[in-house]
Amino acid sequence: MKSLYLFIVIIAILATSCKKDDIANESEFNKSYKTWLSYKSSVNNSYTYTVSSGSWTGYGSETRIEVSNGEIISRDFIATMPHRDNSHKIDTVERWHEDKAHINTHGINAAGLFTLDDIYQKARTVWLKADAKKNDIFFEAKNNGMISTCGFVPEGCQDDCFHGVTITSITAP
């Protein structure tokens, strides 16, 4: 009986000491990733996607990235702010275009130079692996089943705390 008890204790310790490699929203992520792989194949790894961001101050931006055969070939950026007179008008405060020869020559306000493969990798290894005890973790796939929102917000944070990506569209060029 002591041997059986000791065996059960050892198995329980081993089972609980193994590090899990789980990610938040894993089944949703895996389904979205499979959808992405199918789409990527159907468009020969050539597509355009748009990343949006916004702040409680009213500042907002969009970065459009074009990928051809798995390589980033252009990036467009636009940033806006509410007009100073408190009307419903929006002012463009920055706008630029980078072609293949000039990629990464503008400021740091734009979304980074990532393919969707890179974004899915970062989602799997960083954003969805955030400590769920300290963060609210988000994953949505509203772009025909492909990633639209992925990231986390530290619990208790109230202003511009999202770490991740918001993709408003994914299209074939």
pLDDT in tens, 83-108: 887 777 888 999 999 999 999 999 78
**Domain assignment of residue 95, yes or no:** yes
166: Cβ contacts below 8 Å, ≥ 6 apart: 51, 52, 53, 148, 149, 151
Is residue 23 assigned to a domain?
A: no
Mean pLDDT confidence for 125-140: 96
Considering the domain boundaries, does residue 6 fall inside one?
A: no
Is residue 84, in this structure, part of any structural domain at all? Answer: yes
**Half-sphere exposure (CA, 13 Å, Cβ side) for 44?**
3
Q: How confident is the model at residue 10 (pLDDT cuts 50, 70, 90)?
A: very low
Q: What is the pTM of this model?
A: 0.83
- H or E stretch at 94: strand 90-98
Q: Is 25 part of a structural domain of the chain? A: no
Please say whether the dihedral angle defined by the alpha carbons of residues 109, 114, 120 and 121, taken in this order, is positive or negative: negative
Q: How confident is the model at residue 69 (pLDDT cuts 50, 70, 90)?
A: very high
In a domain, 27, yes or no: no
Residue 78 belongs to what domain range?
Answer: 32-171
Our count of domains for the chain comes to: 1
Please tell me which residue, 22 or 4, carries the higher pLDDT value: 22
pLDDT surpasses 70 at 21: no
CA distance 83 to 154: 31
pLDDT score recorded for residue 17: 35
- Residue 108 inside a domain? The answer is yes
Question: Domain for residue 132, yes or no?
Answer: yes
One-letter amino acid for residue 156 of the chain: G
